[in-house]
Structure formats: structure tokens, C-alpha cells
Structure 1
Amino acid sequence: MTDQRTARGVSDRMAGAISQVAAAGALIVVFVVLSIVAPSFLTADNLFNLGSQTSVNAVMAVGVTLVIITGGIDLSVGSVAALSGVIGVMLMAEYGFDPTLAIIGGILVGAVAGLVNGLLVSVVGLPPFIATLGMLSVARGLVLIATGAVAVFGAPDSFRLLGQGVIGGFPIPVLLIVLVAVGGYVVLTRTKLGRYSYVMGSNMEAARLSGVPVRSYTTAVYVLSGALAGLGGMIAASRINSGQPNFGEGLELDVIAAVVIGGASLFGGRGTVLGSLIGAFLVAVIRNGAVQLNIGTFYQNVLIGVIIWIAVWWDRYQRRKLSGDTG
């Protein structure tokens, strides 16, 4: 039995690696094609904007990766990001908070939303889809209540540094991607939370019987996902120096697409930070290129949806092949 589990684990990792290589190959192809057909794509300004745009999705994708590895899902990240960004800007504009404290406050708002998600899943026993779908609605409603559906302005100019600043020639949002990615990698590969996440995603009942504190670790991954959604919301707010109540509508689609394209399995037990980053950049490049080619948002959404279909089908195909089920 142990040998079978080991062989399955090796095969699963190989399948994930193949998905990552395929996603990286697709990213290179799309990048090259856009460089040819859209002359403005390779300009310094556009590449800077691309990096800043990707930072929001990439940071959030790291948190969602942890959730998906456990076999869960987080549909609330877009609304939570909007709530965090709005509250963070309000702390500065209406209560005079220092930008650093306001950013921390926004992240904490996301973490609290993640805590609620985690408790609903691990303690109340709601399916992750239902728990986070409910939070999607609750967070969006709270944003509209807090703002009256009107954008919040008045943050100091120094707040722009988070989403627009540069250090040593590198955009701060890109540096944040690196920091969050390194942190996510360490969590997944060097901590009990990471190891147990894979175990829970592979077989939740076996993890429970093995003594894994499933409730605590399940809650923890949702808290991290919420906190990173909060950080993503603050980065987005910083880019336009305001809190936008309609920010993040449909953003969960792009984030989940990035994670799945990068080789994570919606059935749990598989996923990496590197793969999710590749997926995030691929989605961002596709959207950015579509804008360069004057392709509307509606068509972009159709394309991203089709990509999700293909990625999930590929995951199911690999699992059936590994299990010997060809039916």
C-alpha cells in the first residue's frame, strides 16, 4: 500500500509538472505572438502596467493555491479585495491613519473574512463553494453599504507607492509578487501547514484519522487566502489612489483560472506557487494583449472561461489515466 501511495504521489507530481511546462510554453507563445501583432505590447509603459496588473492576481493566487490544494475553493477573493481596499482607503481619508497602518488594516479585514470562511467550512461544515459564495455576497454588500456605491477618495499621495512605486528600477508591485511567492513556497514546502494541506487534499478522512488537526489547518489556509486578497485589494487601490466599490467583480474567475492553469487540481492534493504565478502571468498577458488588440472584456471573459474548461478537463484526463480508468 505504501509503495502504491508513493508511486501515485510521484505520478501526481509529474502530472503537475507537465501542466506547469504546458502553461509556461503557452505563456511564451502568447507573449511572442502579441509582441508581433501588437507593436505597443513591448513598450516600457505597457510592460510596467502589465507587471502592476499581474501583481494583484498573482498575490491572491498564492493564497487560493493553498485553499485549492486542500480540496477547497475560495470564490470570495474578488469581493474581499474590494472590501479591504475600500476600508483601507477610508482609514486614511476619513480617520487619518498612516498609509502603512491602513495597508495593515486592509490586510486584516481580508484575514477576518478568511477566518469566517474557514470557520464556516471547518466548524459549521458548509461546503467550501457555499461558504465562500456567501462571503462573496456579504463582502460585496458591505462594500456598497460602507461607500453608498460611491468611490472613496482622499488617500495621501504616499499611498501610491504600494501600487506605483519603484525601488532600484523594479516596480514595487513586482517585488511584492516575489516576496509573497517566496513566502508561499516556504509555507508549502517547509511547514506543517504546507505538508498537511497536501495530505488533506489527497484524502481528508485519512488525514483526520492520522491525527492531523484538520479544522485548525483548514481555517488557517482560508485566513491566508483572505489576508492575501486583502493585500491584493490594497495594491489595486494604491494604483488608482482610491477605493472603488465595484473593484474585483469577476476577479475570482481570473485568480482561480491562474491556479488551475498552473497545474493545481480542483480535486485537491496538487498545486505549486510557481505554477500559479505562471498561470497568473498568462491570464494577465492574455487580457493585456486583448486590450492592445481592441478585444472587448466580454470576449476576454469567454476566452478565460474556455481556458478553465480545458484546464479542468486536462486534470480529469490525467487523473483517469493515472488510475487506469480509460472510460
Structure 2
Amino acid sequence: MLAYILRRLLQVIPVFFGSTLLIYFLVFAMPGDPILALFGDKTPSPQLLEQIRDQYHLNEPFLMQYLYYLSGIFQGDLGVTFSGQSVGVVLARTLPVTARLAIMAIAIEFVLSIIVGTISALRKGSVVDHVSLIIALIFLAIPIFVMCFLAQFFLAIQWGWFKPTVGASNDWGDLWLPAIVLGLSMYATSMRLMRGSVIETLDQDWVRTAYSKGLARSRVIPVHVLRNSMIPVITNSATNFGVLLVGATVTEAVFNIPGVGNTLFQATLRHEGPTIVSFVTVFVILYVLVNLVVDLLYGLLDPRIRYA
């Protein structure tokens, strides 16, 4: 087990250098002058432009810029935004907001998919099964921005169940509406995975053996069937968690959530290389660690899995 964990942690090294180099190159290759864009319609003096470019090493070749960035990373410095703020400070302000939103959305998706997927599988071919599949396909087909506006209009404005926007007050209770929208948007895939996994598990010989030993259905389903059927859903939820950390841009924009998605979008518009690459670097590491935890959970859920 320890050797497996060390091997997985060592995989972070090539992933770190490969992802940062690729993202930095993509930012470097973006057309336009990010410094000139900061001034909008105004035309700064050439001396001021050169001074700012020298400050951010923008006059250096691509490889030198990347090496400057790596040097700062290894010293604990994530860089400075074009507005003069530390990237670390911006990350510390926005990451907890998006993390809360992602955790709530994944929890909603996971619980719904387990419950509905299991019921649908146990009643395969019934009206409940067909209705649950149709509802899942509807959620899968509706674009996320449409779901955001529908939820905002009906659940918040018309019925008053939630706050229509989040804003600066972004506690757990304020994030329920966007979390529900994100959870439902991801629910369909996990629910279908859970349904298929339960159906497959029910056909296994060891499930028949459990019934032949006289075990009650109330014990066979939760202890033997569900435990071994949850692996695909856990894998999908872990992937969704990584996606939500950087990909909830539309939802954050609609509900005015000061999170990572909004910050990354604005940084992309301004060509802020340090902000974009530093954010992506942190999330790459988080994503690898989350998947490591998920891999270790496999051994707890399925005793047949062993890590050599």
C-alpha cells in the first residue's frame, strides 16, 4: 500500500511540469498585448509600457518566462496579477467559495444517483425505471446556463425558496441553489452508471450465494450489492469534483459567485499568465490527490482489490 501511494505521488512530478508548461505556452501564444489592453482606450507612454513589461518579464523569451515562473513557485510565490495583487491572496479568497460549491454539488449528485439508480435497477423495466431514465435524460440534455436561469427565475424569484444571487455572502446556505443546479446537471451520468452497475452486480454468483444462505434482501442489497456497485459512481464523482473546481464558470457568472471560475475567466480575458498557470497548477495537484484518495477507497469498497 505504501509503495503504491509513493508511486502515485511521484506521478505528480511529470504531471506538474507537463501541465504548467502546456498552459504557460498557450497563454504565451495568445494574440494581443495584455499590458496595452490594461489601459483600454488610453495610450500609455512607451516608457511606461516597457517598465511594466520588464516588471512581469514579458520582454523575455517564452522559456525564460516559464523558468521565472517555476523559480517563484519553488519559493512559494505564485506571482502577481496585473492589478498588483498576489495570486496566492486571490486564490485563498476564491478557492474556499468554489470548494464549498463543488462539495455541495457533488454531495447532491452522489446521493441522488445512488438512491434513484438503485431503485431503478431493482425495478428494471418498470414504470419507475422508465420515468427515472427519462428525467435523467432531460437533465442531461438541458444546457447548464438554461438550468441556471430556470432555477433562478422559478425557485428564487417566483417562489422565493432561495436567494437569486450569492454575491459577497457566500456561506454554505447561500450556495444551495447553484449547488442544486450543478448537482442535477451531473446527476444523469452517475445515475445511469449506478443503475447499470447494480444490474450487473445482481447477476453475480456471490449475490445468488448470499440469497441461498438465507440472507434477507434488506442485508444483501446494502451490504453486498451497493458496496460493490458504487465504484463507477465514485470515480465519476471524483472526476466531476475536479471539473467543478475550474469549470463552474457559467454557474458562478449567473449567480454572481466570487469563485475560481469567474476569476479564471477574467484572467483569461486579460492574458494574465501567472494567475491562469498558478490556478491550474494548484488544481492539477488537488485533482491528482483526490483521485489517489478515490483509488484507495476502491480497496475498502471491494475486498477483491489489492494494491501491490
How high is the TM-score relative to the length of structure 1?
0.30
- In terms of Rg, which structure is larger? 2
Higher relative contact order (CA 8 A, sep 6+): 1
How high is the TM-score relative to the length of structure 2?
0.32
